[in-house]
A and B are shown apart, each in its own frame.
Chain A
Amino acid sequence: MEIIIEFISSLLMMLLPSGERLFTAVSEATCQAFRDAEVRLPPDVVAAIRHAAENETSPIAREELGRILENISLAGRLGVPICQDTGVPVVYLTVPPTVPLTAALMDAVADGVRKATREIPLRPNVVSPLDRRNSGDNTGPGMPAIHIRAGERLEITVLPKGAGAENMSRLAMFLPTEHDRIPRFVAETMLVAGGRPCPPVVLGVGIGGTFDGVAALAKEALLEPVDHMDPFEQDLCDAVNALGIGPMGLGGKTTALAVKVKTASCHTASLPVAVNVQCWAARRATREVVW
């Protein structure tokens, strides 16, 4: 019975005079997801910052984290973006079997980004790479960056990515025998970055896959909650925190709130590793599309 209903509903979907209702719903959900992400941090991130503030002994580090917590609550109260770098739009789209994967679906996401830029508002950050012309609405060729995965429901997850931290990200193609160099590479990424990516950071680490795929893995790792680390992730996090860079690079115990790792199978002759640096404003939000 359920299968028949599903079949009929998918048939009806296709028979709709246009995908207009779907378009509007996707655009609206995208805009809402950006509003959620830009204004309120996920509870696990706020808890991690609060925990860090309680743990710091340096007065400057405590002061910095105190200001961060004050800023988070002020943004929530006023309904405005946490940070003026509202990022570039990175979107993860989960598409169920009932929704056809069309160019119109991608256009609807872009429409939601434009709406979010006008209404929240977001800072227009998207420019063409060489002549630096700003599109004014946070879209352009390849923007929003949309990643598609198959699923049961039509869901939109957004990860607005600020440039200060993104610019400090790194990728290496290690030899297959060099897996013991991964902790060094991760710690070195923060050593080079110092205070520039707005620590305390979250590090998304991709291991395996291909040259392009490992960067995507590192970014996807940033979608994971930061309230749990496995022993490998904890070791990497400890190595980073041993550097003492601290909040904003002014010294302290917390350089990273968490390190999250995602892996994929790779060529027997390769070991790709990528580190995607995320500032303390680890923004992400998910909305289901209902239409």
Chain B
Amino acid sequence: MTPVHLATPLSREVLDLRAGDQVTLSGTIYTARDEAHLRMMRDGIPFDPEGAAVYHCGPVISGSRILAAGPTTSARLNRLTGFLLDAGVRALIGKGGMGSGVVDQLKGRGVYLALTGGCAVLAASRMTLRGVYYEDLGMAEAIWIIEADHLPLVVGIDSRGGDLFGAVEREAKLQFDRRFTI
């Protein structure tokens, strides 16, 4: 299956993607973790959010080089994400999926793209550092501006409520109950 290629700023094309689709993504993306989300909520988003992709990641940076930049656990940001989608962000990139609240917020607006957790060197090999916001938050929590080149991703949550992680979790619950509930 040939992956669909996407480039930022993203347009309504992302609305056609379905959970389980393989995609590659190029263009500018912005890292943001817990502290950056809190500050953006307070002070405003420092980049143009229209069609932007926000990457849940705290990279290892050495000088102007990105050494390792795999995704962090997206679920920590479940309650901190709505304002980004309201502002026009079209893609969230991370690992592990997000809560049902975010699945609803993505409807008709954007997608959640899963990058293989821990694949920090693979991810970094397709990234160039362009700049930084909020550097005072420290290496892990700052917003790094990154130029991505064909990041390999899978659509975890689509814009119609399709949720690969949710489906797997429901099946896991069934299997668990079958085995352990008397």
Contact = CB atoms under 8 A, between A and B. Distances in A.
Contact of B172 (A75, A122, A194, A247): A194
Contacts of A82: 68, 118, 120-121
Contacts of A251: 164, 167-168, 171
B24 to A, nearest CB: 12
Contact of B118 (A78, A124, A187, A279): A279
Nearest to A193: B96
Interface in B108-166: 114, 116-122, 124-125, 138-140, 152, 154, 156, 164-165
B50 to A, nearest CB: 28
Interface in B38-69: 57-60, 62, 67-69
Contacts of B154: 60, 63-64, 250
B44 to A, nearest CB: 22
A250 B165 contact: yes
Contact of A194 (B97, B114, B140, B152): B97
Given A63-B154, A195-B97, A248-B117, A184 B165 contact: no
A17 interface: no
Contacts, number: 161
B138 A124 contact: yes
Given A80-B68, A248-B114, A67 B119 contact: yes
B117 A134 contact: no
Interface in A180-213: 183-184, 187-188, 191, 194-198
A60 B97 CA distance: 15
Interface string B7-38: 00000000000001010000000000001000
Contacts of A122: 60
Q: Is the interface of A mostly helix, strand, loop or mixed?
A: loop
A42 interface: no
Chain B contact residues: helix, strand, loop or mixed: mixed
Interface string A97-129: 000000000000000000000000111110000
B119 to A, nearest CB: 4
Interface stretch (A7-15, A21-29, A83-91, A218-226): A83-91
A68 B119 contact: yes
A256 interface: no
B173 to A, nearest CB: 7
Nearest to B152: A67
B22 A63 contact: yes
13 contacts: A59-B1, A67-B122, A68-B116, A71-B120, A82-B120, A136-B138, A183-B180, A188-B176, A196-B73, A198-B95, A198-B96, A198-B118, A248-B116
Interface of A: 59-60, 63-64, 67-68, 70-71, 74-75, 78, 80-86, 121-125, 132, 134, 136, 164, 167, 183-184, 187-188, 191, 194-198, 239, 242-251, 279-281
Given A64-B154, A67-B152, A194-B172, 8 more contacts: A71-B121, A71-B122, A86-B60, A124-B138, A164-B96, A242-B175, A249-B96, A251-B167
